[in-house]
A and B are shown apart, each in its own frame.
Chain A
Amino acid sequence: EAGVAQSPRYKIIEKRQSVAFWCNPISGHATLYWYQQILGQGPKLLIQFQNNGVVDDSQLPKDRFSAERLKGVDSTLKIQPAKLEDSAVYLCASSPPGGVVDTQYFGPGTRLTVL
Chain B
Amino acid sequence: GESVGLHLPTLSVQEGDNSIINCAYSNSASDYFIWYKQESGKGPQFIIDIRSNMDKRQGQRVTVLLNKTVKHLSLQIAATQPGDSAVYFCAERDINAGGTSYGKLTFGQGTILTVHP
Report whether chain A binds chain B: yes
| Residue among B4, B91, B105 having the largest count of chain A Cβ atoms under 10 Å | B105
In chain B, residues 93-109, which have Cβ atoms closer than 8 Å to a Cβ of chain A? 93, 98-100, 102-105, 107-109
Nearest chain A CB to B48's CB is how many angstroms away? Answer: 12
- Contact of A56 with B109 at beta-carbon distance under 8 Å, contacts A91-B43, A106-B45, A108-B41 already known: no
Interface size class of A (residues with CB under 8 A): 20 to 34
Inside 8 A of A42's CB, which chain B residues have their CB? 4, 89, 91, 107-110
Nearest chain A CB to B39's CB is how many angstroms away? Answer: 10
A108 lies within 8 A of B42 (CB): yes
Inside 8 A of B42's CB, which chain A residues have their CB? 108-109
**B109 is contacted by which of A40, A50, A103 (Cβ under 8 Å)?**
A40
Q: How far is the CA of A41 from the CA of B105 in the complex (A)?
A: 14
A88 at the interface (CB under 8 A from B): no
- Contact of A4 with B109 at beta-carbon distance under 8 Å, contacts A56-B98, A101-B93 already known: no
**A106 is contacted by which of B44, B49, B102, B110 (Cβ under 8 Å)?**
B44
User: Which residue of the partner chain A has the closest CB to B108?
Assistant: A42
Inside 8 A of A56's CB, which chain B residues have their CB? 98-100, 104
- Contact of A104 with B105 at beta-carbon distance under 8 Å, contacts A42-B89, A91-B43, A93-B43 already known: yes
A-B residue pair count with CB separations less than 8 angstroms: 61
Binary per-residue interface labels of chain B (32-51) against chain A in the complex, 1 for a CB within 8 Å, 0 otherwise: 10000000011111100100
A45 at the interface (CB under 8 A from B): yes
**B32 is contacted by which of A55, A93, A101 (Cβ under 8 Å)?**
A101
A31 lies within 8 A of B100 (CB): yes
Inside 8 A of B110's CB, which chain A residues have their CB? 40-42
In chain A, residues 28-75, which have Cβ atoms closer than 8 Å to a Cβ of chain B? 31, 40-45, 48, 50, 54-56
Can you list 23 A-B contacts (CB < 8 A)? Answer: A4-B43, A31-B100, A40-B110, A41-B109, A42-B89, A42-B107, A42-B108, A43-B107, A45-B104, A48-B98, A50-B99, A50-B100, A54-B99, A55-B98, A55-B100, A56-B100, A91-B43, A93-B43, A104-B105, A105-B46, A108-B42, A109-B41, A109-B42
Sorted nearest first, the 6 A-B pairs with minimum C-beta distance are A106-B43, A42-B107, A55-B99, A102-B102, A56-B99, A56-B98
